[in-house]
Amino acid sequence: MEPDSRREPGGKDAPSTQRRRPAPALPAAWRWGFPAALVIVVLWAGWLLASGLQMILDSEQGTTREAVTDPSAAGFEAFVEQTWSILVATEDDAGELVQVAVVAVADRINGGGTVLLVPPATAVTGCVVQPCTLLDRHSEGGVELVRASLTGLLGVGVTGTALLTPARWENLAGASTAVVVELSGDLVSTGADGTTVVRFPAGRVVIDPGEVVDLLGFAEDGDAQARLARQRDWWSAWLAQVGTGDPGENLPALDLDVVRLLAAVASGPVSVVTGPWTPEGSTMVVDVAALDDLVVSMFPFPVPLVPGLRPTVRLLNGTGNQALDAPAREAVLRTGVELAVVGNFRTDGAIQTRVIHRDPALSEEANALAAALGARVLFDEMASPVTDLTVVIGADFHLGG
């Protein structure tokens, strides 16, 4: 038989389990230091989390902020609504271009606007044979080529085109009473057999709707400036008449863009401009500087001819003075950029006008814009990505802008 391993030497039985020795006591520094360190780590992590959340809440990037709907309040921003405009081309019974007008709405809500009268003999580019005029462009390809050349001359696009024939003008103008214009002299037409007839006598003349195109296109006196003046007088008198009472009731009940636009224009102050045109031989040439001034005033938010070709701009007024909105907008537009967003800086009291860009590739454009505005340039990777450039108008704008 094998010896019992549980017996101790001397014949005593060994206990069934071994008694464990007690672990040595932890040093006091470790016993109290570790819990304290753990508490510090937890508190530090909580502080970091709170700080991070606050940073996110304060950030302008990727956050949902309370919408500012008051256009005069700090922080208000809105995408621009491009100026509602239309090119009105008039043809006579023979299909010849006799009158061109660009009509632009000043304010879609309050109405008003500008009618720019353009002589068909205006010199333009784009013809197969140069020099050429809008008349030549019309002969080559109709109203669309007229639009292409005229918008190229203006440097802005229009939102629509309307071709009006004598019958369409009669319908359009016939919804209101006949217009009265003052003629300084008889308008005499010559027949094929050489006989003459007074088409419109001098003095106050009632122009029936069926005679509108005859008056607008009358050119037998050979005086292009006098022709523009007659067109101006008729447009002014007609739109004043349309604007009396409800403009919608003084226009035909037709769901056409030209009808809606004319109603909007006639509902407010209207300016009919004969334009910066000067006779030069058989054509009319433009004063480019005067035309640029006119375009800036006519098109507060112009339609770009080629979207994406020019830098887009976010224009913010940082002064709290709304009287600077219009001159700031005009100053920015004169630099040739595309205005996409307007509004107010998040705080009032900006001292210095600045141009901000977030892309180093746009530094040249930012510098050019800043030079034109008398502003400084800032590079900020966190600037709004909505547009290429941001302009903040400061209190110095009226001095350097």
Are 85-298 and 312-400 in the same CATH fold?
A: no
The structure tokens listed for 93 are 């019974």
Instruction: Provide the residue type at 158 as one letter.
Output: V
Adjacent-strand bridge partners of 139: none
CATH dotted code for 312-400:
3.30.70.2390
Domain extents in the chain: 85-298, 312-400
Percent of the chain exceeding pLDDT 70 equals 83
Paired tokens of 130:
């140069």
Reported as a single tens digit per residue, the pLDDT across 109-149 is: 999 999 999 999 999 988 888 889 999 999 999 999 999 99
Q: What is the dihedral of CA 354, 357, 363, 369, to 10 degrees?
A: -40
Asked if residue 155 lies in contact with residue 124, where contact means CB atoms within 8 angstroms, the answer is: no
Read off the pLDDT of residues 188-239 as tens digits, 9 standing for 90 and up: 998 888 899 999 999 999 999 999 999 999 988 778 899 999 999 999 999 9
CATH class of 85-298: alpha beta
Nearest to 127 by CA among 146, 105, 100: 146
pTM of the entire structure? 0.79
- When pLDDT is cut at 50, 70 and 90, the band that residue 308 belongs to is confident
Rounded to an integer, what distance in angstroms lies between the CA atom of residue 115 and that of residue 275?
A: 10
**3-class SS of residue 328:** helix
SS3 144: helix
CA dihedral sign of residues 250, 227, 184, 291: positive
